[in-house]
Structure 1
Amino acid sequence: SWRQAEVPVEFQQLLDQISETGKFSLSRDKTDKLNSGRDRKPASFLFVEGDKFAVVGTVLILVNIVAEYCVRAEDMSLSAANLLGYLVELLNTFNSRSFKLVLGAEAVSEKTGLKMITTANLALVLRALQLLLWLIPYIRLHFQALLPESAKMTQLEAVTVRIKTHVKDVQAKLLSIMEPLVAN
């Protein structure tokens, strides 16, 4: 659903780890610290390199899956190219489905309980896509280290372009909603 989700401590730690080291898995000592910590209360927002993200549960799941693919690519380097292809397919699917659900208003149904797409829904999808755009360069670096130099990252570049286009569309929609309010 396109409602803001709480951010588990482990998830914040994972993104901090990616940002600081480029690694997609928590080190053993960080995992042990998390498991021994008593204050494991989820946060309302995700913080990435000083940026504050309100996120939906689906993007949290997606980023966890991305991290798993990256870790598995290290474990099975002969399959890294295939895993990258599947990862790109997953990112494309998330992008196109979120576009259809939010900008295409397919999320409005009795099944979802959503009566209309709000500016909050638009803002959440915008932040989800911006989080993916932040993550993609780390994915690229990760797979470049695993694949031969001749391996092309064109699939990853193409999904980046599509996500950026979607971001611009969401921003334009938000602007079209806000302009009349600001003008008055």
Structure 2
Amino acid sequence: MGTVATAAQCANGVLRIIDIYGNEGKRVRRFDSQDWYIATLTALDLISLAGASRDLYIAVKAYRAIKSASAFTSVSMLKWLRGFAATEKERVSLSRGIIRHFNPSASEKQISIWLTANKYPRMIDSERVITELNNQLNNAVMASMAYAGSAIGGTIRNPGSIRQTSAYALGILRTVEII
């Protein structure tokens, strides 16, 4: 949902730029004076920020898990991001580190039992770790771009638009209630 809202904001921004340079901004001025337009842009911005917040949360969570698990191996986070191919011993250590990260009170014996019972994989595939880290890094960059866009011309820059949008939404609800 956040990605769709962000894409809609980008498309709107491109159309605004085209209008400013090709039509001297006549449509931009007309739309900017209409409540429904401001309410729609504010709603898109809030949805985009919510999606960006979720993506940042997941990226930080993944980073902390791998960093914590990497403490049990000799592999640094920077090596993982560069595409490090882990040895079998490092993959087993990483697997144990990840289990320990999510189950901090588990003993070494309990971890061994879980690995024997195939509750967790014995060795983590290093390519999957690298792919996941790169995906999370890309999501974090995109989320920061959503925040930057909102700070430049969205809800973060104009928090008063939230009040205007809520008043507009309540007005629509009252109109529908009367009909």
Instruction: Normalising by structure 2, report the TM-score.
Output: 0.31
Higher strand proportion: 1
Q: Which structure has the larger Rg? A: 2
TM-score, normalised by the number of residues in structure 1: 0.31
